Amino acid sequence: MNQLLRVQNLTVSGDGFGAGEGQSLERPFGHADPGEMFSWAGATASWPNRTDPGGTRGLDDYFTRDFRNNIGAEIMGRNKFGPQRGPWKDLDWRGWWGDEPPFHTPVFVMTHHVRPSFTLSDTTFHFVDADPATVLEQAREAAQGKDVRLGGGVTTIREFLDAGLVDTLHVAVCDEVVLGSGVRLWEYPEELLDRYHLDVVPSPAGAVTHHLFWRR
């Protein structure tokens, strides 16, 4: 089977934004409220950052449970890795995730400002200044036959979509969250229908509508 490039558990607002405006150290998603947007995932038993016991094991859990399944590498944009812009002033920044990042694979951070690779627990971060196709090639090799996760943010996902490199996308749309501005994935999900099939499935929990795309 081919190594897929997969977008998993990407959550966007009802008006198509993956994050709000004004990202900062204190507000990784800008003016968007991540607690509101990600509550569907945080309620599931398999949510990687879950600290309290219990949690749901219904449909939403199928998506969070699948997060690590057959994934051998992740690609992310620099703004998912941190709030800094331009040349690195401080190499002490090692991502938002503390000493135990939830990736457990090599992670390729796309940036024009490369820096040395480093390892936290079983996650190694590499910094690459290259076009999407080249980065995907490196990630596939690192994934050793497994799939590659395209972790976002949405600007990075747009670049890979425009290059025709994304095989499947799972996007959870928070129908009742309206951000008005920020970093946009799409105007409407149907924009992708020229290139992808689409299943639209309501979450039984009611907060989101799952959108599953795969190539035509």
- Which residues form the interface with a copy of itself (CB under 8 A)? 45, 56-59, 61-63, 65-66, 69-70, 167-168, 197-202, 204, 210, 212, 214
Q: Which is nearer to a copy of itself, 133 or 201 (CB)?
A: 201
Instruction: Please give the angle made by the CA atoms of 196, 4 and 17, to the nearest 5 degrees.
Output: 55
Which residue in this structure is represented by tokens 């390729």? 108
Q: Which is nearer to a copy of itself, 93 or 214 (CB)?
A: 214
- 3-state secondary structure at position 19: strand
Q: How far is the CB of 214 from a copy of itself (least distance, A)?
A: 4
Q: What is the secondary structure of 124-145 as a DSSP string?
A: EEEEE-S-HHHHHHHHHHHHTT
Q: Which is nearer to a copy of itself, 57 or 112 (CB)?
A: 57
Q: How far is the CB of 27 from a copy of itself (least distance, A)?
A: 31
Q: How far is the CB of 168 from a copy of itself (least distance, A)?
A: 5
Q: How far is the CB of 53 from a copy of itself (least distance, A)?
A: 10
Closest CA to 141 of 53, 72, 64, 71: 72
CA gap 21, 35 in Å, rounded:
16
Instruction: Please give the angle made by the CA atoms of 27, 30 and 33, to the nearest 5 degrees.
Output: 80
Q: Which is nearer to a copy of itself, 73 or 166 (CB)?
A: 166
**What is the DSSP secondary structure assignment for residue 107, as one 8-state letter?**
E
Q: Which is nearer to a copy of itself, 22 or 58 (CB)?
A: 58
- 3-state secondary structure at position 159: helix
Q: How far is the CB of 152 from a copy of itself (least distance, A)?
A: 19
Q: How far is the CB of 28 from a copy of itself (least distance, A)?
A: 27
Q: Which is nearer to a copy of itself, 88 or 214 (CB)?
A: 214
Query: What residues contact residue 215 under an 8 Å CB cut-off, 6+ apart?
Result: 167, 168, 195, 196, 197
CA gap 126, 137 in Å, rounded:
14
